[in-house]
Amino acid sequence: MSSSQLIILGFALTITIGALLLSLPCANVTGKPASLGDAIFTATSAVCVTGLVVQDTCTYWTLFGQAVIICLIQIGGLGVVTMSVALSMLSGKRIGLRQRSVMRDSISCPQIGGIVRLSGFILRATFVIEALGAFAMSFVFCRQLGLAKGIWYSVFHSISAFCNAGFDLMGFNGKFSSFMSFVKEPLINIPIMALIIIGGLGFLSWSDIKANKLHFRYYRMQTKVIISSTVVLILLPAVFLFFLEFSGMPLGQRILASLFQSVTPRTAGFNTVDLAALSQSALVLMILLMLIGGAPGSTAGGLKITTVVALLASMVSVFRKRSHIRLFRRTAADDTVRNASAIMSLYLMLLIAGAMVINRIEGIDFVSCLFETTSAICTVGLTTGITPGLGAMSRAILITLMFCGRVGALTLVFAAVSSRSDQLSQLPTEKLTTG
């Protein structure tokens, strides 16, 4: 069995176990088994760290159900393979070459050497960062909800934010409807934004920063691309939202709202404003941010920053009549643009096809359907509010898109097609005119 097939099997098995646990009577407040559809959808959304829900996480699921959801989020965020290797390390078992190879593919590491040490670093850093995030938010949650409930809310949202999951315990219509009641609370906004950004930078970027501290020039080309692109993708949308969407807010609240809505689409799924009230141009901007996503080998989904940068760099190289793409005084590998083009094409075909089918089945406007399918395949979790009212077929489409987005569209293709290479033979070459 190939690495791709093992990764797919691991995610599918975790979703199945999660769905069975959520189906137990003790997992929801009705005291009866949850419907299989609701359990599968919620488990898929949690493992794929998406955040789309068909039942309110706060009011429908019990403490046991919420604990199952947050465990699934942690497993899905770090990766099923990473967690299985962690258990092997804790039990003292030897990590074989096959496990190291699968681990390398799971976190997009360029080599097998040092993969176990890197896994240990990832686990330690994850729990320290999540603990710090929970501690910062506890000052607000404990003050408003009491000690025990405040600590639980802090831990839940810290893990959910770091894993870019988008699940929250604020309820649909309760006192704390989503994070909208905290739009002007820095001790909620800033920790959540920091957790989302750190989780979305990628595990290899962490390792690079740890090794080279703040010396940017010594970072790998990939780390430089990820950090610089992340800064641009936070600031530019924030400026757009600040001047064109939230002009009626007080200055401090306006800054926080603009930054939060700029950070969260890639790919966390929280919101501090009513998304349904945003303009069409703002929704399209968020669709683009969701599509871009975070870094490879991170807790975030989407096309990945490096994919989009590679395509833009390829466009620049064509304009300048260069044969290779250049980034930070380095030449990218020849297959970079080919892989980026394949990933972009797959994602666009899947999310547009899904939106078209949901549009025809449900009769909902196409932009809302496109927003939902983009949110699903890019594992974001932002919604205009249509998901709970969708029928079984539409939910099945979103489940499929969430799974494809978390596992990786190319991973599914590699698992399905033959791994034999045709590098030893080549057909005659003929020019194909483009443009």
pLDDT at 11: 86
Q: How many whole angstroms separate alpha carbon 69 and alpha carbon 74? A: 9
- pLDDT tens, 266-307? 878 888 888 878 888 898 898 899 999 888 888 888 889 999
Where does the pLDDT of residue 174 fall: very low under 50, low under 70, confident under 90, or very high at 90 and above? very low
Mean pLDDT of 377-397: 89
> What is the pLDDT, as a whole number, of residue 2?
65
pLDDT, residue 288, reads 92
The letter for the amino acid at 59 is: T
pLDDT value, residue 402:
93
DSSP lists the bridge partners of residue 331 as 326
Question: What pLDDT, on a 0 to 100 scale, did the predictor assign at position 261?
Answer: 93
pLDDT, mean of residues 380-402 = 90
The neighbour count for residue 332, using CB atoms within 10 Å, is 22
State the pLDDT at residue 277: 83
Could you identify the residue written with the tokens 């097998």? Answer: 112
Helical H runs in 245-382? 251-263, 280-292, 305-319, 335-362, 366-377
Residue by residue, what is the 3-state secondary structure of 46-95?
A: HHCCCCCCCCCCCCCECHHHHHHHHHHHHHHHHCHHHHHHHHHHHCCCCC
Q: What share of the chain is helix, strand, coil (3-state, %, to 5)?
A: 65, 0, 35
Nearest-angstrom CA–CA distance, 138 and 64? 21
Query: What whole-number percentage of the chain has pLDDT above 70?
Result: 86
The pLDDT of residue 408: 75
Please report the pLDDT score of residue 85 as a whole number.
Answer: 63
Model confidence at 193: pLDDT above 90: yes
Which pLDDT does position 324 carry in this prediction?
Answer: 84
Q: Please give the pLDDT value at position 259.
A: 95
- pLDDT (0 to 100) of residue 116: 73
- Per-residue pLDDT tens digits for 346-375: 999 999 999 999 999 999 999 889 999 999
Would you place residue 187 in the very low, low, confident or very high pLDDT band (cuts 50, 70, 90)? very high
Residue 80: per-residue pLDDT = 67
Give the DSSP per-residue string, 129-183: HHHHHHHHHHHHHHHHH-HHHHHHHHHHHHHHHHTT----SS-SSSTT-TTGGGT
pLDDT at 325: 87
Taking the model in full, what pTM does it have? 0.89
pLDDT at 267: 78
The pLDDT value recorded for residue 204 is 85
Q: Are residues 181 and 175 in contact, defined by beta-carbon separation less than 8 angstroms?
A: yes
Per-domain residue ranges of the chain: 3-415
The angle at the Cα of 371, spanning 345 to 179, to the nearest 5 degrees, equals 130
Which DSSP category does 7 fall into?
Answer: H
Residue-level pLDDT at 102: 65
Cα separation, 341 vs 304, in Å, equals: 12
Stretch (H or E) spanning 326 = strand 326-327
Give the residue, 383 or 68, on which the prediction is more confident: 68
* pLDDT value of residue 418: 53
The pLDDT value given to residue 427 = 75
Residue 166's pLDDT is 85
Dihedral sign from CA coordinates of 150, 266, 332, 236: negative
Mean pLDDT value across the chain? 86
Higher pLDDT, 212 or 413: 212
Query: pLDDT class for 173, splitting at 50, 70, 90?
Result: very low
- What H or E segment, with its residue span, contains residue 411? helix 409-416
Whether 147 has a pLDDT exceeding 90, the answer reads yes
For residue range 78-127, list pLDDT tens digits in order: 876 666 666 666 666 666 666 666 666 666 666 666 677 777 788 889 99
Helix axes 251-263, 186-201, angle to 10 degrees: 20
pLDDT at 176 over 60: no
The residue among 283, 288, 289, 301 whose CA lies nearest residue 385 is: 283
Whole-Å CA distances, 282 to 5, 244, 289, 435: 38, 9, 11, 30
